[in-house]
Amino acid sequence: MTELTYLGAITRTLAEAMRDDPDVVVVGEDVAEGGPWGATAGLAEEFGAERVLNTPISEAAICGVAIGAAQSGLRPVVEIMFIDFVTLALDQLVNQAAKAHFMSGGQLTAPLVLRTQGGAGQRGGAQHSQSLEAWLTHVPGLKVAAPSNAADAAGLLRTAIEDPNPVVVVESKALYFRREDVPDGPLRVPLGRASVVRAGRDATVVAVSTLVPEALAAAEELASDGIEVEVIDPRTLVPLDLDTIAASLARTHRLVVAHEAVRQGGFGAEIAAQVQEACFDELDAPVLRVGAPFTPVPFSPPLEDAYLPGRAAIAAAVREACGR
């Protein structure tokens, strides 16, 4: 075990993947300087400018170059600095990358990873704080991962780099500097396998990314009132490990889904829909969703703090689901 930050785990994984496979290249704005948080710090020094490619502020072209490079044999890891800017690359991601394998009748693959980060709480205003992962889950051909801790940030990234499909890894800037123990050596977390991060019998909380530690804090609080919450981190939204969620519901019969993204059209709605289709008879209460209100992220600190869903909202939802 080594104590690493979530960011440090990403940096270590990028370096390991680049050492192991000369086709892995890193592409993005300011990546040679390490980027604004240092996720790619030291890579240019070790691997050189031909493999750590600084780009102009051209998100669409960056993504398109990565797709073309991937189709011709490289394994690009693209960084889009804020998920808010993925809007600029969506044509490339949605129309070129996601469909290439399908439209070519299986001839082409686009094995690229798009790393980006989302989430509020940094006073970044409405264009540097969004949680837009649900958009990406609506596109067949893309895989979407959302790690909630350092070990998963490493393990999901490594698996994503080795996956033959385009994978978007949505990191959480709120979690970047949390220090955690990370197992040594190359980690691999399969895409499509959820993690039960706390066992419980009374209710299940499926929490995404930043809200996983919030759900654990809520579970701690509820335990003191005798409500035992099972917390599941899906880790990847596409593919979604519905089996693990269903197995939990068969024990708890109550479900709360929680994410920082706005509730309306959020991925929680998809989980709720899939659960009621697959295991309606297991539900003793309506599925409840925790998420942000349907407004842009406000800038003013007290307003942003009030906007963010967290442990209190999760705890309240669990109490409601349990009727206590």
Give me the residues that bind another protein (CB under 8 A), please.
23, 25, 50-51, 53, 55-56, 58, 60-74, 76, 91-92, 95-96, 99-109, 111, 140-141, 143, 164-165
Q: Which is nearer to another protein, 24 or 207 (CB)?
A: 24
Over the range 123-158, which residues count as b (16 or more CB within 10 Å of their CB) and which as e? ebeeebbbbbbbbbbebebbbbbbbbbbbbbbbbbb
Q: Which is nearer to another protein, 105 or 226 (CB)?
A: 105
Q: Which is nearer to another protein, 56 or 226 (CB)?
A: 56
| Closest distance of CB 96 from another protein, Å | 6
Q: Which is nearer to another protein, 103 or 306 (CB)?
A: 103
In the annotation, is 138 catalytic?
no
Distance set, CA 19 to CA 46, 69, 154, 207 (Å): 9, 19, 15, 34
| Closest distance of CB 199 from another protein, Å | 32
Answer yes or no: are the C-beta atoms of 77 and 113 closer than 8 Å.
Answer: yes
| Closest distance of CB 14 from another protein, Å | 17
Return the amino acid letter for 258. A
Distance set, CA 8 to CA 29, 265, 282 (Å): 19, 32, 41
Measured at the CA of 91, the angle between CA 85 and CA 93, to 5 degrees, comes to 80
| Closest distance of CB 52 from another protein, Å | 12
Which of 101, 128, 253, 259 is an active site residue? 128
The rounded distance, in Å, linking the Cα atoms of 151 and 180 is 8
- Which residues participate in catalysis according to the annotation? 128
